[in-house]
Structure 1
Amino acid sequence: MRIALTAFARRRLFPADGRANAIVGTTPDAFTEHLNREPPLKVLDGYADFCKLHVHRNWTPTRCATIPITDDNRHLLRSGYEARNRDELPVLTRWFEGVEAPVAEYLLVILYSQAQMAREGEHVDADWGVVGCLATAEPEEIPMAPITMMRNALGVEEGGSGVPLDREAYRRSVAFW
């Protein structure tokens, strides 16, 4: 099985702006080489049949993508509108400023099948394309953000995947986030 880093994921995971949720300590090419060389600890089913998550022990200094909101850090929580690229509408997001998350124990690499990548207008010269990566403390998936679930349900033309909204999964996501 061959894995390729998509242009979408390259911009999101290896940004030039130094964002806290970036993959650090490796290059995009070295990251992809590692994924193709090292088998995952386990493979999780994603939210649709075209989506898989490969769980790897973190081999980088990348920090966790999420940390709990507490009374001690709540005042450092910020929000704003952000678009993932020029073609998408901005959505409300939130993040911490001045809080350093711990180094992640695991990287959960989110993969879409070659066929789904083609449906979304991005050709990958591989069986699977990396569309994201969750840096986590545990080797389990964290719930997809509610806005990502909404965008996916809107369809490919709005930057989603066209998978209908699962109301129970959405409720679990809201409870987590």
Structure 2
Amino acid sequence: MTVALTEFARARLFPRQSRRNAIRGTDAAAFEQYINAHSPMKVLEGYAPFCQLWVYSNWTETRCATIPITKENRHLLHSGYEARNSKELPVLNRWFEGIEAPVAQYLIVIVYDREQMAKEGDRIDADWGVVGCLATAEPEEIPMAPITMLRNALGVEEGGSGVPLDRDAYLKSVAFWEQHANWRESDEPQ
């Protein structure tokens, strides 16, 4: 079983302009080499048959992706319309500024199979393509953001995967994201 870091994931996880909430303490080549050389401690089912989540103990300096929203930090929340890349429509996002999350205990590597990667126009020379990575305090998936679920339902042409919206999963996601937000530095791009 082989794994390749997709261009989409490479740009998000290892951006040219450093972000505090990107993968830290390694580079893209070493990250890809590590996941090819080490089996995950467990594999979680993804949101669709072509998706899996591979759980690893964090071997990097990467910090947790999300922070709980409290009365003490609510005033540090920001929002704005952003696109993940130039091909996608901007959507409303929310994040913290002025907070640094703790170092994550786990990295949950999100992979799609080769067939799905080809459907999305990102042909890989591997069995699996890394499309993202969640840095977490627990070895469990952070629910996909509601807007990501909606984008996926729109289809590949709008930056999604073409998987229909699952109402129960969407409501679970809303419950989580009402109480949590991502974080970044004030001058960081999305």
Q: Which runs of 5+ in 1 are unaligned?
A: none
Distance across 2 between alignment mates of 1:70 and 1:133: 25
Q: What value does the CA root-mean-square deviation take over the aligned residues?
A: 0.6
Q: Could you tell me how far 1:19 is from its partner in structure 2?
A: 2.3
Identity of aligned residues (%): 73
Task: Using CA pairs under 8 Å that are at least 6 residues apart, name the structure with larger relative contact order, 1 or 2.
Answer: 2
Secondary structure in 1 matching 2:33: helix
What is the match of residue 103 of structure 1?
103
Letter in 2 for 1:152: N
Q: Could you tell me how far 1:159 is from its partner in structure 2?
A: 0.4
Distance across 2 between alignment mates of 1:82 and 1:17: 17
Distance across 1 between alignment mates of 2:164 and 2:19: 30
What is the match of residue 82 of structure 1?
82
Matched, 1:63 2:27: no
The within-5 A match list for 1:21-36 is 21-36=21-36
Instruction: With the length of structure 1 as denominator, give the TM-score of the two structures.
Output: 0.99
Instruction: With the length of structure 2 as denominator, give the TM-score of the two structures.
Output: 0.92
Q: Which runs of 5+ in 2 are unaligned?
A: 178-190
Matched, 1:91 2:91: yes
Q: Could you tell me how far 1:142 is from its partner in structure 2?
A: 1.0
Matched, 1:132 2:132: yes
Secondary structure in 2 matching 1:110: strand
Distance across 1 between alignment mates of 2:99 and 2:114: 37
Q: Could you tell me how far 1:94 is from its partner in structure 2?
A: 1.2
Aligned length: 177
Secondary structure in 2 matching 1:35: helix
Q: Could you tell me how far 1:81 is from its partner in structure 2?
A: 1.2
Per-residue CA deviation, residues 142-166 of structure 1 (Å, 9 max, x unaligned), is 1100000000000000000000000
Letter in 2 for 1:113: D
What is the match of residue 123 of structure 1?
123
Q: Could you tell me how far 1:82 is from its partner in structure 2?
A: 1.1
Distance across 2 between alignment mates of 1:29 and 1:134: 18
Distance across 1 between alignment mates of 2:45 and 2:10: 22
